[in-house]
Structure 1
Amino acid sequence: MSYELWIGARYAGLARSRRRVGRGDRFVSFIAASSMAGIALGVAALIIVLSVMNGFQTQVRDRMLSVLPHIELYVPRMGPEQVLQEWRQIADMAGKNPEVRGTAPFVAAQGMIVRGEALSGVQIRGIDPKLEGSVSDVSGQMIAGRLDALAPGSFSIVLGNQIANSLGVGTGDTVLVLAPQGSISPAGFAPRMRQFTVSGIFSSGYYEYDASLAFINYEDAAKVFRDSGTSGVRLRIADMQQAPLVARQLTQALPSFVHAQDWTQNNRTWFAAVQTEKRMMFLILALIVAVAAFNLLSSLVMAVKDKRSDIAILRTLGASPREIARIFLVQGSLIGVVGTLLGVGFGMLVAYNIDVIVPFIERMLGVQFLPQQIYFISELPSSPQIEDIAVVAATSLVLSLLATLYPSWRASSLQPAQVLRHD
């Protein structure tokens, strides 16, 4: 081991001398340890927060796509009944794409559900219960009743559990569904309405959908919402990440009057907001690492000042300015590397076990960090990504290395004669 590496490691508190450690050495080791701890905490905080944000995005996306299709094909200028007469042709044409795994018809509309004095605005989806399982997971999310009870002409409805709770209904109860369009009579405007029987209740785990989504048979939906609904074909593909590419391919392969819209377009605002928030959180939390790097710089400057006599003695023994600079470069680099490794280890430990740590803290403090009505999910998710961890570690190492340059240059520029004269 070269003496520069040994002395630098000793100043960093990672190597010990055989002689008794003096007060100055203990002081240098203390400020080195504090700098190391600051870097470790900053790196760990970055990894934990980015992992939680990745987990939040992934979990909400998966819950959304358990109800929503990967791609929707619709004809905006035609009524639901007209489109449904030709939906099998559109589905067959779309099925020629090798990525398509399932197809099913749909009718989408907005309406009101009334039960006594309770009223709720909902998004109504007309579906084919026999084919819905090929494009969504609603059938597996039923907590009461069955999805296949939505037979054509039965005018049955499946509600989200939050809607059912707000209306106070269960399976077998009846509700009144109001369509936006109606008829004008001498008595005034009369909205179109139809009585439906609640045949099931589902829970997707995504609060927004559980509180605003209802399913009926697509033929019944075409009759009730013939003037206000849109209809088409829902698709599920092999890789949901390829949905934008597959949608563009289908747009080119299908007739011009058929529009293709993938799940990223349907939820563009939400995903853009999450990405922006993630970038801002990275920049904000990176300041913690930057502060730790400034702390490292100041600690190295203090170490250089404390070790002026040692530097002067080494210079008189023949050490070159470059060798002196390398000593403090080694010291700062070791502090940065060890602090980064400790931060990565601690951050990954917490990120991979956050599903155990957070419930324990909630039980101990008697609080809930994620109210479902606000954050759509009730458990804090975590999804550590190797790319994020690598970027955080590289950022920490670069900042640590930059923080060592000025103290190293200052140590190498000390004149031994002046130092020894004053000491």
Structure 2
Amino acid sequence: MKGLGWIVFVSRRLLVARRSRGGGAGLFSILGIAAGVTTLVAVLAVMNGFQMGMIENILEVNSSHLRLYTPYSADSPDRAEEVADLLRPLRGVRSVTVSAELQTLVRGYWAEPRGAVIRAVPPDWLQQDPGAADQLKIVEGDFDLRSRGGVVVGQQLARSLGVRLGDTLAVTHIPGGGLRPAEEALEIRGIFRTGYLDYDLGWAFVSLATAAEDLKAREELVLGVKLDNRYGDQAAAELISRKVGPGYPLVSWRVFNRGIFGALRAEKGMMTLLISLIFLVVSGNIYQLLRRSILERSEDIAILRALGAPDRSVRSVFILEGWMIGVVGSALGLLGGLFLALNVNEIFAALETLSGFFLQRGARIFSPSHFYIQEVPVRIFPEELFLVCLGATGVSVFSAMMAVRAVAEYRPMELLRSR
């Protein structure tokens, strides 16, 4: 018996056969693989959405891809702009902006102040940095810092202070070189939202002129460098260091955000590992299915061996059956996972509508009062889908290879004689 045609034919017949006591077990194995792949694809898509949204918020609004520090001096604003002009034409550099951060206390309508970070930026910051403009949405007013004395605050910060557009925000800051705090009143000209609670609740923006003249800030200036490809930060850092020379400390986003990005990576790895345990259960099911199939079809195996089928070919029949289980289950699971991921917000909306018949009116699964999200974000990476399907198929094939070891023990003449 030569060729692969009969192996494929027999494997397919064994998979769909219903005459054995284990009829339908192949279907349950396929559904088990499909359930595992569906769950893993949907969870990874939603987790990627949350994590990538947080990462992009941090990199685009706060840390940049590279941070170049300029110590404060009387001419540091002019010197920082000169350095920025040197870096903007470099290959791979998307934007370069100058900023400074002030740790302050702010007070609005309510008497109790709260801590806030005030970031001093150029008046045309959003035009200079399109990446930040994509993440920072103005919900009221404008990002108007062209004249001194104006401030743009986060939406949640404005709510916690009880202030609105046009109100006065009292900012308490210790001027550089001083010992006593000074309070300055700034006009709220805009209210923004990033979708990241830490920024919306604890950040505000002023112009560099307002920080220097009104708040008497003497903080070091930071040049935020955005790259076309953030993973090319090491090569860009070497190029920038050669361009500006010594005396300007340079920090990559990998180092500046090491703590939070490391935590996100560990979280995703552990979640993937825990969900992948489903495949261990399914692999045991596939092993038992094929093991029982081999025992029940011992006569068929003996006939194939007597007709001249090599031991390797007989084993290939059951390994191919395991591969078919993995491929079909992975395909079904991939379709189900993509459907859930791409329609997760519609599914939640339908569940909220349905819950209205059983719970109090207006009940929400993801209420903004408990979750700081407007919708569930989704991000799908094709390479992850490929790895999930490859892993599911690999588990099925491995289980089949473990199950077919019993085939080598069969002696065709002894089996046929005993019948």
CA distance in 1, matches of 2:134, 2:120: 13
What is the total number of aligned residue pairs between the two structures?
405
Paired position in structure 1 for 2:81? 88
Paired position in structure 2 for 1:53? 47
CA displacement at 1:140 relative to structure 2: 6.6
Residue identity matched to 1:384: I
Q: Spell out the pairing of 1:84-163 with structure 2 (5 A cutoff).
A: 84-115=77-108, 116-135=110-129, 136-137=132-133, 141-152=137-148, 155-163=149-157
The answer as to 2:210 corresponding to 1:220 is yes
TM-score, normalised relative to structure 1: 0.85
Contact 2:60 2:135 survives alignment (8 Å): no
Contact 2:323 2:397 survives alignment (8 Å): yes
Paired position in structure 2 for 1:7? 10
TM-score, normalised relative to structure 2: 0.86
Unaligned runs of 5+ in 2: 356-362
Paired position in structure 1 for 2:360? none
Paired position in structure 2 for 1:389? 385
The answer as to 2:194 corresponding to 1:204 is yes
Paired position in structure 2 for 1:171? 165
CA distance in 1, matches of 2:61, 2:234: 18
Paired position in structure 2 for 1:380? 376
Q: Spell out the pairing of 1:236-251 with structure 2 (5 A cutoff).
A: 236-251=226-241
Paired position in structure 2 for 1:63? 57
CA distance in 2, matches of 1:234, 1:330: 55
Paired position in structure 2 for 1:72? 67
The answer as to 2:28 corresponding to 1:38 is no
Please provide the CA RMSD for this pair. 2.9
Contact 1:150 1:199 survives alignment (8 Å): no
CA displacement at 1:163 relative to structure 2: 0.5
The answer as to 2:5 corresponding to 1:28 is no
CA distance in 2, matches of 1:244, 1:120: 38
| Cα deviation 1:4-62 (Å, max 9, x = unaligned) | 3322211111xx6xxxx64x2xx333111111111121122222222222222222233
CA distance in 1, matches of 2:138, 2:87: 29
> What secondary structure does 1:211 align onto?
helix
Contact 1:150 1:157 survives alignment (8 Å): no
CA displacement at 1:372 relative to structure 2: 7.6
Contact 1:174 1:196 survives alignment (8 Å): yes
| Cα deviation 1:101-157 (Å, max 9, x = unaligned) | 4343322111010124132211101122134421231897222222224413xx221
> What secondary structure does 1:291 align onto?
helix
Residue identity matched to 2:156: Q
Paired position in structure 2 for 1:336? 326
CA distance in 2, matches of 1:140, 1:4: 60
Match of 2:278 among 278, 284, 288: 288
Higher alpha-carbon deviation: 189-198 or 106-115? 189-198
CA displacement at 1:169 relative to structure 2: 0.4
| Cα deviation 1:289-320 (Å, max 9, x = unaligned) | 22211210111111122223333444455544
CA distance in 1, matches of 2:352, 2:418: 60
CA displacement at 1:268 relative to structure 2: 2.6
CA distance in 2, matches of 1:97, 1:276: 35
> What secondary structure does 2:61 align onto?
coil
| Cα deviation 1:349-375 (Å, max 9, x = unaligned) | 32333343333334434443486866x
Residue identity matched to 1:33: L
Paired position in structure 1 for 2:349? 359
